[in-house]
Amino acid sequence: MAASPRQDYDFRANTNPSDPFSKVPPMSLAAAPRRCLAVILAAGEGKRMCSDMPKVLHRVGGRSMLAHVLAATAEAGATAVAVVVGPERADVAAEARSVRPEARIFEQRDRRGTAHAVLAARECLEEGWDEVLVAFADTPLVTAETFGRMRDSLAAGNVVTALGFEARDPTGYGRLVLQDGAFVAIREHKDATGDERRITLCNAGLMGLSGARAIELLSGIRDDNAQGEFYLTDAVAEARRLGLPVGIVKAGETEVMGVNDRAQLAAAEAVFQNRMRATAMRDGATLTAPETVYFSHDTRLGRDVTVEPNVVFGPGVSVADGAVIHAFSHLEGATVRQGASVGPFARLRPGADLGPEARVGNFVEVKNAQLEAGAKVNHLTYIGDARVGEGANIGAGTITCNYDGFGKYRTTIGKGAFVGSNSSLVAPVTIGDGAYVGSGSVVTKDVPADALAVARARQSIIAGWAEAFRRRMRSAKSS
């Protein structure tokens, strides 16, 4: 569910902005919407992925990691987005614009650190925003709700908000340093003291900045650290130096998981799938073996849908109330309407549209075809580029011959038609309402309504032929 645009706040509420975990005051519904810019850092090379494709274009739940971040920030109310890419990364820019066409692209040619990367989008930052969210395109699991809480922290008066998490093993992570309960700095692991390395509250990398102060804070960051880079994390210390309030928003460790290699990509996929399974069941679907069902980011299941084991939903699938997806079925780009049944061992390809109470059975493939209400295609059949009318029955082994090596052609099967087993319907062809096609027919011409088409050679019987054939073959083999 998309979040509504966040509003300004009534600061008459009792709050302490210097407390990093302070409660956010309630929204004032009369206030004007706050303007938010999302800056997405997508310039990483991802060498550990060992791939010709940029890391941020690798997919989780059928969607690029970059697209996940763009969608979450948009849902959290970011009204504009700047994407920082590496040199000559038109592919990353194109992916960003496919999700948010208004995205502005900036290039980071020199790798001088995360603050340097954010400043690559200076042109956007200068346009005046209430809040700036800085996110990483290789951290795809952060939710819109978490981004929203970061915005809330900024709206409550903090000029910097860091996203933190409690790490089971903090080695390698930046630490969120508190003194007397006040948030004072983020210390990179390599720069941390022994005491600081014992801190388990760690930096997730994502940060919120006051739009009015963003450039001032970023410009004040220095590169006097072990790496000689401009760390975005130093925005906290810079804000403290200026006497400005800073805060922390906490998320779960799995939510802020970054992806740097294939193993971490698989781990992110597992987290994503568990989220989708939980959502499906919470919203009224039955998954008989949840751990074996795989979803795409945009899968939609209605109430009282039943999904049996080992089902895969590719992108673009919606399943209406009361439908059943039987075991070992694969669906992509398909619509399954109320009460329809799919599988087991069925494949619905893009453009498949099953009407109410339609039936697609085992080892049936449907592509770019509409099955109207109550139509039945129960086994061992291919239906492509076709319309199957209401209540029609398609026998086992039937295929629509839709491709001649150059073009695709449509088959139309009318309401209440009956197509016998092992028939080939050579498109373009129409089987009229109520017509019958005899089993084993190869139909190349239209069949009128309520007619019978039989298109096969007349059967001939030659008595004794088989025994004579076997004698000849045995004799030839022995000689």
Question: Could you tell me how many residues make up the chain?
Answer: 479
Question: Token match 């449907």: residue?
Answer: 366
Report the run of H or E that residue 317 belongs to, with start and end.
none
- 381, β-bridge pairs: 364
Q: 101-109, long-range: CB within 8 Å, 24+ apart, which pairs?
A: 103/70, 104/80, 106/82, 107/43, 108/43, 108/84
Please give the domain boundaries of the chain with CATH numbers for all domains. Answer: 36-250 (3.90.550.10), 262-453 (2.160.10.10)
Q: Which residues are catalytic?
A: 379
Q: What is the DSSP string of 86-98?
A: -TT-HHHHHHHHH
Please answer whether residues 370 and 353 qualify as being in contact, where contact means their C-beta atoms are separated by less than 8 angstroms: yes
pLDDT one digit per residue (tens) for the chain, 479 residues: 333 333 332 222 333 434 455 444 444 434 568 999 999 999 988 899 999 999 999 999 999 999 999 999 999 999 999 999 999 899 999 999 999 999 999 999 888 899 999 999 999 999 999 999 999 999 999 999 999 999 999 999 999 999 999 999 999 999 999 998 899 999 988 888 999 999 999 999 999 999 999 999 999 999 887 778 898 999 999 999 999 999 999 999 999 999 999 999 999 999 999 999 999 999 999 999 999 999 999 999 999 999 999 999 999 999 999 999 999 999 999 999 999 999 999 999 999 999 999 999 999 999 999 999 999 999 999 999 999 999 999 999 999 999 999 999 999 999 999 999 999 999 999 999 999 999 999 999 999 999 999 999 888 889 999 999 999 999 999 88
Q: In the prediction, which pLDDT does 3 show?
A: 36
Closest Cα to residue 383, out of 392, 265, 197, 466? 392
- Three-class DSSP category at 8: coil
Distance CA(326)–CA(43), nearest Å, equals 43
